[in-house]
Amino acid sequence: MNEELSQELGTTEQVRQIPNPTGKGGFGDNPQNINPGGRPTNSMKSYLARKLANMSDEDKEKFLKEHKVSGKDQIEFGEGKAKQETEADVTITGPSIIRLDE
């Protein structure tokens, strides 16, 4: 059996297991990552989202035209920025990988 198929079977077995059988979890191991206040609700983005959500469609169109919001900016505000492709030239040094299927 090749290594890729073996790895796929291992993943399948992991998926079949109950991911959190005790129901416990959270930030017990890393309490420094807890955000006790939750997501900030008074940010400019939250304010604008609430403001636009409460407007009628006609009012939204009027607002966008008056403020000269481009179509691209409208889409980014509504759906977030598009995925950006990046290229990286990476050199890894270390032991060679041994392939078992050769």
Cα–Cα distance measured from residue 43 to residue 49, given in angstroms and rounded to the nearest whole number: 10
Q: Where are the domains of the chain?
A: 56-80
Residue 58: what pLDDT?
94
User: What CA dihedral angle connects 46, 49, 54 and 55, to 10 degrees?
Assistant: 140
What global pTM score does this model have?
Answer: 0.39
Mean pLDDT by 10 residues, the chain (102 residues): 54 66 70 77 81 89 88 80 84 77 66
Specify the residue for token string 């990046």.
86
Closest CA to 64 of 10, 56, 4, 83: 56
